[in-house]
């Protein structure tokens, strides 16, 4: 079952897309996995060291993607569910002590960020509270109604719609491929039935951890159009694919029970190969064809701009005298620096700062949006000897202007 979860998550469109964006999104599921693993193992084995390891994973993880700040609440709910079930009988004090140990270990590693909270609490919570509250805009309806609608949309995200954010998803398609979605559904039903029969706390915790880890997306009450999203629900990758693996194992075991002998083993092995290959093919197409084409058509070609600046700095100019003039809804000037090979440089140069370049005697390079005629006119006025060229991109609508200013002769 563990290998099945490992395989299904490893090839999944959901996990791979949020990783390929290159931002901090995968840090959420990365630290959810060890935190919950050691928490559950600690409660099962009554082992102090497991709680310490869970606290270490949680404390480090809190320095990553902000969505993981929901994880401490998930941990507390997990311990609470354990205490409410008969499996905790005779171990409730030890469980609470383990939770305290976990919290202390996490807090020690959280101290640098805690220090920042004390100095600037508004900035620390700004992103989360701007989505949850009314600091940016009023709620578009009753809070409880928006919450329930968001909860439903997040719950059906694996089967229906993973949101409309093209940067880290294919808009309006399910978060799971067909095979994984079916396995997740079967696994969820299997665990639900198992809980009804046996009343084991791990089963109910596994089921409720999915919506709990999706809360960073669900709680976008002021901006419900941002829910669901693959990045803010990323922590749910862990229980979702464990449930899918449980569904997979349930199917295989059912076949082997109903078709005994070599025939059953051969049929089960064949089904594993067919399901695995089908899922791999589907996810490969989603990530490396559909998502790639969509991303390239939507993203600005910061790599082309980076190559232009790199060539300029290695020939007649310097990396310090290249600039990108910002324009609304255009390229991220920080990405240009990364692609140019200067990752610590933000190449933004607003038109209002053009006069600051008058004293520069070295050659200069300005990259502009073709629609930014005002900035171009200013440059041509300030530097009449400059040379204007157009970068002709192979992708429609991705051209940009290059204004070269030769070195000034003393």
Residues 143-183 have pLDDT tens digits of 999 999 999 999 999 999 999 988 899 999 999 999 999 99
Q: Would you call 302 helix, strand, or coil by DSSP?
A: helix
Q: Would you call 52 helix, strand, or coil by DSSP?
A: helix
Residues in the chain predicted with pLDDT less than 70, given as ranges, are 409-410
> Is beta strand 322-324 parallel, antiparallel or unpaired with respect to 364-368?
parallel
The whole-number pLDDT of residue 410 equals: 62
Please, what sign has the CA dihedral across residues 69, 74, 77, 82? negative
CB 378, CB 350: distance < 8 Å: no
**CB-hemisphere CA count at 13 Å for 85?**
20
The whole-number pLDDT of residue 243 equals: 97
Specify the pTM.
0.85
List, in sequence order, the alpha helices (H) in 166-236.
Answer: 178-198, 201-213, 215-218
Omega before residue 16 within 30° of 0, cis: no
Other beta carbons within 10 angstroms of residue 374's beta carbon come to 11
Angle between helices 302-313 and 333-340 in degrees, nearest 10? 50
Q: Would you call 365 helix, strand, or coil by DSSP?
A: strand
The whole-number pLDDT of residue 129 equals: 82
Spatial separation of the C-alpha atoms in residues 310 and 302, rounded to whole Å: 12
Local structure of residue 69 (DSSP, 8 states): G
β-sheet bridge partners, residue 323: 366
Could you report the per-residue pLDDT of 339-385, keeping only the tens digit for each? 999 999 999 999 999 999 988 999 999 999 999 999 999 999 999 99
The whole-number pLDDT of residue 364 equals: 95
The whole-number pLDDT of residue 341 equals: 93
Please, what sign has the CA dihedral across residues 152, 158, 164, 165? positive
């Amino acid at each position: 079952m563990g290998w099945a979860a490992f395989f299904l998550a490893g090839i999944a469109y959901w996990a791979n897309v949020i990783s390929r964006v290159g931002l901090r999104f995968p840090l959420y599921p990365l630290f959810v996995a060890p935190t919950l693993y050691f928490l559950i193992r600690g409660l099962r084995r009554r082992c102090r060291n497991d709680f310490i390891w869970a606290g270490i994973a949680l404390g480090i993880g809190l320095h990553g993607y902000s969505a993981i700040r929901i994880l401490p609440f998930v941990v507390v709910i997990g311990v609470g569910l354990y205490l409410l079930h008969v499996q905790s009988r005779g171990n409730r004090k030890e469980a609470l002590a383990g939770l305290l140990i976990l919290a202390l270990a996490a807090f020690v590693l959280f101290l640098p960020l805690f220090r920042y909270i004390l100095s600037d609490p508004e900035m620390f919570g700004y992103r989360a509270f701007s989505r949850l509250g009314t600091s940016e805009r009023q709620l578009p309806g009753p809070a409880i109604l928006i919450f329930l609608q968001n909860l439903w949309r997040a719950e059906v995200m694996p089967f229906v719609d993973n949101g409309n954010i093209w940067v880290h998803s294919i808009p309006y398609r399910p978060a799971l491929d067909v095979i994984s979605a079916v396995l997740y559904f079967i696994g969820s039903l299997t665990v639900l039935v198992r809980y009804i029969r046996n009343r084991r706390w791990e089963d109910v915790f596994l089921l409720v951890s999915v919506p709990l880890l999706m809360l960073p997306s669900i709680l976008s009450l002021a901006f419900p159009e941002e829910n669901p999203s693959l990045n803010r629900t990323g922590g749910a990758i862990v229980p979702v694919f464990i449930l899918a693996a449980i569904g997979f194992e349930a199917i295989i075991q059912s076949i082997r029970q109903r078709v005994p002998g070599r025939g059953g083993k051969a049929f089960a092995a064949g089904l594993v190969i067919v399901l695995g290959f089908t899922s791999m093919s589907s996810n490969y197409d989603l990530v490396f064809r559909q998502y790639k084409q969509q991303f390239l058509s939507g993203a600005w070609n910061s790599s082309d701009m980076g190559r232009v600046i790199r060539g300029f700095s290695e020939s007649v100019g310097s990396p310090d005298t290249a600039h990108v003039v910002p324009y609304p809804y255009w390229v991220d000037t920080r990405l240009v620096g990364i692609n140019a090979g200067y990752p610590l440089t933000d190449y933004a140069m607003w038109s209002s700062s053009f006069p600051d370049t008058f004293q520069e005697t070295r050659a200069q390079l300005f990259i502009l949006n073709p629609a930014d005629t005002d900035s171009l006119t200013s440059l041509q006025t300030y530097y009449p000897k400059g040379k204007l060229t157009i970068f002709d991109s192979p992708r429609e609508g991705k051209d940009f202007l290059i204004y070269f200013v030769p070195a000034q002769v003393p």
